[in-house]
Amino acid sequence: MTFPPPTGTDLSAESPVFDLSIEGAHIASASGLKRATLAIKDGKVAALGGPGENLPSLERIAAPGCVILPGLIDVHVHFREPGLTHKEDFASGSAAAAVGGVTSVMVMPTDKPMTTTPELFLEKRALAEGKSYVDFALQAGLGPDISHVKSLKDLGAISFEIFLADLVAPILVSTGEELRQCLRALSELDAVAGMTPGDDSIVAAHTDTTMTGQTESRRAFLASRPPLAEALGLARALVAADEYKVRLHVRQVSTAQTLDVLRRFKRPGITAEVTPHNLLLEDLDVLKMGPRAKVTPPLRNRFHLLALQQGLRDGMIDMVATDHAPHTPDEKSQGEIDLWRAPGGFPGVQTLLPLMLLMVEKGLIDYSMLVNACCEVPARTFGLFPRKGSLGVGADADLVIVDPAKPMTIRDEEQLSRAGATPFNGWRVGLTITHTLLGGRVIARSGQLVGTASGRFIRPS
Ligand SMILES: [Zn+2]
């Protein structure tokens, strides 16, 4: 199948009413697939016509047999700017998002310096503007100092990130009283707490860095974060959150025990995310691939993987987010023999949609679950719906066109992240992303970036 370029002229006799129409495709929504013609005007979805209906437009994309999805929203990326731009920056990270079909990103505060004050928040926003290819929201870091919460909320912080483990002062929230103060402050402003659960004391007791051989260090790293550390951290956080009925989003659920804790405490206002790698890779992959697959929380065994897939299907896990956490190939290669020497994390924003499509292809989820988990629920949770997350009339025309008749292979050399190497290198997916549109304009076509960096700052409504 070929797509004419979006500059093709409408030859119909009627005078064009819309800027662009996409014809012949099925539109995916949280309620399933429906054939329709979609028309765009002034960057918004302007009309949804019946199959084959002629919506007179200046430009057309013929997409017979294709599927149109709302642009994906990745609620968990690290773009490393400011301070760590040898690993990634807003341009490289957002370019990877654009070719991968992700049109909005929420950027974590763990850069250098961390995004914890109004001044740092505004500086970061200025760095991204004019450089980001996709729309972006910024998260603020929240440690024991809660004095900036109101001003950061006023500036549009999309969430406030609380880390119970794996970070150091001034951002680590290590005591129950600090946690209580943070959650109370967020509750008063009706802001979202992003919670990275864990327990440093358990991690410290299980971390044996004297195991330095190739196999030994890989096994020792996997053993350093027992499921109990994550589950215990989450239980503390959820009990505290209940006290103040604060909106709380749980980051990176990686174990069956954590899911059990969620089942006990879930209520409206509590949401949870899982990463594609925790849904599709297992601990054995760390033994095989070493630093390429090193990530925190670590990959778990098949029992946890299957529990997480089920948790996504039954709605206990609300969304899929990547924890896109790039490091340079050189930094990663330091851990080839001794895994402790490599940093944890790898790129993910470009492979999110291909991997979700693979899950659809394998029958693990369907299109409505994909749209729920990667578009609609993220938009609703963080106050962006209905502008983002759906293709209803009036929504931003952020969308992805996928061709189910064309397979693709994920390859290191095609990753636009500065990290390059992905643990999914060589994976085949039966579908290809042909177009990504942001605000009605094509920003990527068949894996190639087109156009300029037109991403805008977005904030909760
Ligand atoms: Zn992260």
> Distance between alpha carbon 178 and the CA centroid of its chain, in Å?
28
Q: Mean pLDDT, the chain, as a whole number?
A: 95
| Mean pLDDT on 292-300 | 97
pLDDT at 9: 39
82 CA to centre of ligand 1 in angstroms: 16
- CA dist., res. 173 & res. 179, Å (int): 6
Conformation bin of residue 439: beta by default, left when phi > 0, alpha when psi is -120 to 50: left
pLDDT at 169: 76
42 CA to centre of ligand 1 in angstroms: 35
If we measure between CA atoms, which residue out of 146, 229, 237 comes closest to residue 189?
146
Residue 408 pLDDT level (bands cut at 50, 70, 90): very high
- CA dist., res. 208 & res. 445, Å (int): 47
Question: Per-residue pLDDT tens for 113-127?
Answer: 999 999 999 999 999
Cα distances from 81 to residues 257, 295, 415, in angstroms, run: 34, 20, 19
Residue 238 pLDDT level (bands cut at 50, 70, 90): very high
Sole residue written with tokens 């012949």: 24
The total number of residues shown for the chain amounts to 461
pLDDT at 11: 42
> Would you say residue 354 has pLDDT above 70?
yes
325: its two tokens? 């956490």
Question: Per-residue pLDDT tens for 63-98?
Answer: 999 999 999 999 999 999 999 999 999 999 999 999
325 CA to centre of ligand 1 in angstroms: 6
441/4: higher pLDDT? 441
Look up residue 333 and give its amino acid: S
323 CA to centre of ligand 1 in angstroms: 4
Among 89, 323, 396, 398, the one annotated catalytic: 323
Cα distances from 141 to residues 108, 117, 176, 255, 435, in angstroms, run: 8, 8, 18, 25, 34
> Would you say residue 259 has pLDDT above 60?
yes
What are phi and psi for residue 96, nearest 5 degrees? -60, -40
| Mean pLDDT on 381-409 | 97
pLDDT at 257: 97
- CA dist., res. 416 & res. 460, Å (int): 28
DSSP state, 411?
A: -
> Would you say residue 429 has pLDDT above 50?
yes
- Residues in CB range of 65: below 8 A, 6 or more apart: 1, 24, 25, 403, 404, 405
pLDDT at 7: 39
pLDDT cut 70: percent of the chain above it: 97
pLDDT at 6: 39
272 CA to centre of ligand 1 in angstroms: 14
211 CA to centre of ligand 1 in angstroms: 26
108 CA to centre of ligand 1 in angstroms: 7
- CA dist., res. 140 & res. 121, Å (int): 7
> Would you say residue 170 has pLDDT above 90?
no
CB burial of residue 154 (10 Å; 0-12, 13-18, 19+)? exposed
- CA dist., res. 192 & res. 229, Å (int): 23
Task: Please confirm, yes or no, whether 199 is among the known catalytic residues.
Answer: no
pLDDT at 419: 97
Question: Per-residue pLDDT tens for 6-37?
Answer: 333 334 446 789 999 999 999 999 999 999 99
pLDDT at 14: 60
Beta-sheet strands, E only, within 326-420: 399-403, 408-409
404 CA to centre of ligand 1 in angstroms: 31
pLDDT at 451: 83
50 CA to centre of ligand 1 in angstroms: 42
322 CA to centre of ligand 1 in angstroms: 8
pTM score:
0.96
Residue 165 pLDDT level (bands cut at 50, 70, 90): confident
